Chains A and B, each alone.
Chain A
Amino acid sequence: MGLLAPWFLAGAAAAALPVYLHLLRRHRADPRPFSSLMFFERRTQSSIKHRRLRYLLLLSLRVMVLLLLAMAFADPFLKRPAASTGGDKLLLLAIDNSFSMRAGSRLADARRAAISVLASRRAPDRAEIMVFGSGVHALTRPTEDSSALRAAVESIEPTDSRGSYGELVRAVRLLSGGARTPIELHLFSDMQKSGMPPGFGELTLPANATLVLHPVATRAEPNWAVETVDAPGHVWDLKKARVRAVVAGYHTPAASRTVSLVVNGKVIAARSVDVPANGRATVEFATLQAPYGLSRCEVKIDSADTLPADDAALFGVQRSDPGRVLFVHEPSDSRSPLYFSTALESAAETGFRVKSIGVDKVAGIQPSAYGFVVLSDIISLPFSFEKSLLDYVRRGGGVLLAAGTASARTGRLPVYAENVLESRYYSRDGAGFLTVGEADRSHPAVRNTDSWAGVKFYFAVHVNDANSQVIVRLADQTAVLLEKRVGDGRLILLASGLDNLTNDFPLHPEFVPFVEGIARYLSGIENSTGARVVDSAVELRTGKDHTASVEVIGPDGHQALSLNEAASAITFPLQKVGFYEFRRADGHVDLIGVNPDRRESDLDVAPDDVLSLWRARTGERDQAPAAESAQSPPQPHELWPYLMLLALGAAVAESLFASRYLGQLREDP
């Protein structure tokens, strides 16, 4: 028991008022002289006590009214065990509609089992229908309407998402957090092993929930699938374009599978591959004969298993002529364009041609004609070029800015809008140089490198990194690679030079993948094509400019976004298998092939001991309901309405006694 507003108990001090008045009234009763009290014996006090009893009863009633009012305002509550407050039972029917439920008749079986459970439920029990894949969605509210529940079950369709029992349990915990009604969770699923969370603790249901499993699959079924496809998203040179695919067999015997490469619906190559029992085989297509423009490509196998939906892997390919890179440098600097262009041409999957130009000749050049722009240790830019370069970035362009000793002398970094706070020189002699301290390996610029291990830095500029994302820091915490978003574009700042004077990075093997990553990232081809997994997201815009809309065409050929969403959405979730087209405001069109999570292709079911343990834990709670209710969090039950009723009753009784008592007083002369 507790009080929600205990400070109102101070009102109980008002109970002293009637006590004081009653005592004062008694005190003012003057004694009357009488000849002798000889005929009044002490035993007459019994009658006086009787009268005092009524008098005290009146006092007690008045005090009780005040105390009850004070208690009622203090809002006491009683903590009741959840089990004692439970009324009817909630049947929670969770039906798995993940990608693996497409295999055979699993989903149909689950629907039939759910309808059977609904038909056998008791009349007062409410039920709620939920489906779960990667997320959990309620199809109905808790209701007793059998027709609505049945319709909800029959409307369930399979999705391409990955199933997660952990997400389901988390949703049940949230659902039971407010209400203490007993929940009977009926789970209709293929009990896929890959859907189990890594920790069994994530499967712990709330105390008021019991689990009833309805598995629609009892054993692992053989299934072949195209597990991965490694293909370029952008093709400049057909000779360099290669496609590698991995065919996996889950619980399958050794078999020979025919793997086909399909471009825009036409099989352009086919290979036969021997897939070992329960193993994998790699197939490589030496060329990707894709036409110019966007192509919808896929790698298919002939599997003839129960889950044909995973027999193909989709990916989008864009073929174009090699793009151009504008490399701006000081006229006296001939080293940096050499190193950069050499590294870019050495990259395997980039098709850029570097146009190197001195800063004194950039006036009149439109940056928008280039895939991205590199500013190598520029002292200053022509005003018109800098302005057009800023516009170019805001519209989605990319700029790599290298700040060497020349930039440090001016103290200002063009375009990047940050000043050089300090120039830090490190010695070339001995161990005076600095190496990289930490690097963000998730960034595309360093993703394919070895975190610039072994790169020696002799000079770096220190800039304010408060408004930037730091990708790489030196050992002394100097930010050496930073990124800043401007509009829809990206600015990458290398706080050192590209000329092999301020560091030895251009001579280092790490330089080539760095340049390649930078080129892919800044040119935007990193995200524009290729393949994605269901439930991943595509970034629609990087800035806060919501004036430009992005058109998304889904696998069904229809607009996937409303007009409002097209103008405001930051990201777009890929929820279905198929090709998505993203038509951006600047005219770029991206084509992305979306494939299901390949973990769904493993149709192995969870071991019986795991399921038994999961079921047994809820069963143990059923066998010890008293202990469970004692451990379950109590639910506060407010008592103020009862106290107010008592106060009302006491007030009525007080009125009756008071009128009777005062009536006797009025009879006295």
Chain B
Amino acid sequence: MDRFLDPSVLAGLSGLDLVARTVVDGFVSGLHRSPGFGFSQEFAEYRPYSPGDDVRFIDWNVFARTERCYLKRYRGETNTLLTVLLDASNSMKYSSHGVSKMDYARFAAASLFYLTTQTQRDAAGLIVFDTELRDYIRPSTRSGQLYRLLSGLERAEARARTDFAKPIRHFQQYLRRRGIVVVISDFYEVPDRVVQALEPLRFNGNEVLLFHVLDPKEIRPEIRQATTLIDLETSETLEVSPEYVQNDYSARVDAHLETLRDRARGSGMDYYLLSTDRPLDGALREYLTIRQGRL
């Protein structure tokens, strides 16, 4: 099954729907329970009435037999809302092999959308951003939503720079309903700023999952001679030495990843590092773990 999850294999597929179906069908099947209690037909428990509870949920049959008020609770399916925030900055174009970070992010998002809309009947939406809010597809369970989402992913081309703070302020008006927010980005920003920008989503009751997409050569660059590097976002150039890359750069990247992970988890957000040379199952497994946690 891993063969179908290999990013290089997925890159050879023609469309995102096929990519998503291949990934999801090969990985998981079945329904997921709602993270909260609702209007399901499956009984869950009885709970003594306390003032303020909705009297509509009192089991009057039990009251008739016992003269005590109990609330009857059911375990039913939820309408979980998935919103993917996709970073479409220029840095996402970087690739050291066949799959760029942007492609990998699309694959991951498409797989999540397919999993959510087709197998779990959840609502899913898409927000594409860089320094501004570039595209927004409202979460919905209507038929054809998946194709709208996949079309949105197709349109998302990497450009401009990354700025979390400014777009997030706009996100909040679209994220009034609680759900799962998946942020897919390479997070070339100071961890504190990233967390600070995303914390409002968490405070609104959303489950926030950070997918940190990086190319393996970004984590461990291979530079054997003095090389001039050009920043894809700022076009700034800098001549670097192999010694620095092998020593200082690696340490700084590791520190960045660790800080971002710690700061994200410290703020109640989940963090998962996606390397573009690894299969997508890790991303889906992480999502489903969170999804399960909401039951």
Interface on A for B, CB 8 Å cutoff? 29-40, 42, 44-45, 47-48, 50-51, 664-665, 667-669
Secondary structure at chain B's binding surface: helix, strand, loop or mixed? mixed
A41 CB, nearest partner CB in chain B, Å: 8
Query: Does B241 contact A51, Cβ atoms closer than 8 Å?
Result: yes
- The residue on A at minimum CB distance from B189 is A38
Bound Cα distance A42, B236 (Å): 12
Bound Cα distance A29, B227 (Å): 8
With A40-B240, A47-B241 already in contact, the answer to whether A35 and B228 are too (CB < 8 A) is no
Bound Cα distance A667, B256 (Å): 30
Query: Does B225 contact A44, Cβ atoms closer than 8 Å?
Result: no
Bound Cα distance A45, B240 (Å): 7
Query: Does A44 contact B240, Cβ atoms closer than 8 Å?
Result: yes
Bound Cα distance A669, B188 (Å): 28
Q: Which residues of A contact B239 (CB under 8 A)?
A: 45, 48
Secondary structure at chain A's binding surface: helix, strand, loop or mixed? mixed
- The residue on B at minimum CB distance from A39 is B252
Bound Cα distance A37, B215 (Å): 14
Q: Which residues of B contact A29 (CB under 8 A)?
A: 227-228
Bound Cα distance A30, B91 (Å): 19
Query: Does A664 contact B228, Cβ atoms closer than 8 Å?
Result: no
Q: Interface digits, B245-259 against A, CB 8 Å rule (1 contact, 0 not)?
A: 000110011001000
Query: Does A44 contact B237, Cβ atoms closer than 8 Å?
Result: no
- The residue on A at minimum CB distance from B252 is A39
Bound Cα distance A34, B238 (Å): 10
Q: Which residues of A contact B241 (CB under 8 A)?
A: 44, 47-48, 50-51
With A38-B188, A44-B244 already in contact, the answer to whether A33 and B232 are too (CB < 8 A) is yes
B234 CB, nearest partner CB in chain A, Å: 7
Q: Which residues of A contact B233 (CB under 8 A)?
A: 35-36
Q: Which residues of A contact B248 (CB under 8 A)?
A: 44
Bound Cα distance A636, B30 (Å): 103
Query: Does A47 contact B227, Cβ atoms closer than 8 Å?
Result: no
Q: Which residues of A contact B224 (CB under 8 A)?
A: 664, 667-669
B202 CB, nearest partner CB in chain A, Å: 25
- The residue on A at minimum CB distance from B225 is A668
Query: Does B249 contact A39, Cβ atoms closer than 8 Å?
Result: yes
Which residue of B188, B229, B252, B256 contacts A32 across the interface (Cβ within 8 Å)?
B229
Bound Cα distance A293, B221 (Å): 125
B163 CB, nearest partner CB in chain A, Å: 13
Within 8 A of A (CB), among B89-108: 91, 94, 101
Q: Which residues of A contact B25 (CB under 8 A)?
A: none
Q: Interface digits, B207-236 against A, CB 8 Å rule (1 contact, 0 not)?
A: 000000001001001001111111111101
Query: Does B188 contact A40, Cβ atoms closer than 8 Å?
Result: no
- Say whether B277 faces chain A, with CB atoms less than 8 Å apart: no
Query: Does A31 contact B253, Cβ atoms closer than 8 Å?
Result: no
B120 CB, nearest partner CB in chain A, Å: 33
- Say whether B77 faces chain A, with CB atoms less than 8 Å apart: no
Report 17 cross-chain contacts, Cβ distance below 8 Å, ordered by A residue.
A31-B227, A31-B228, A32-B227, A33-B94, A34-B232, A35-B91, A35-B94, A35-B101, A35-B186, A35-B232, A36-B186, A37-B236, A44-B248, A45-B238, A664-B224, A667-B225, A668-B225
Q: Which residues of B contact A31 (CB under 8 A)?
A: 227-230, 237
Query: Does B231 contact A47, Cβ atoms closer than 8 Å?
Result: no
Query: Does A36 contact B230, Cβ atoms closer than 8 Å?
Result: no
Query: Does B240 contact A665, Cβ atoms closer than 8 Å?
Result: no
Query: Does A35 contact B215, Cβ atoms closer than 8 Å?
Result: yes
A618 CB, nearest partner CB in chain B, Å: 71
> B215, B231, B234, B249 — which one has the most chain A CB atoms within 10 A of its CB?
B231
A566 CB, nearest partner CB in chain B, Å: 91
- Say whether B42 faces chain A, with CB atoms less than 8 Å apart: no
A659 CB, nearest partner CB in chain B, Å: 16
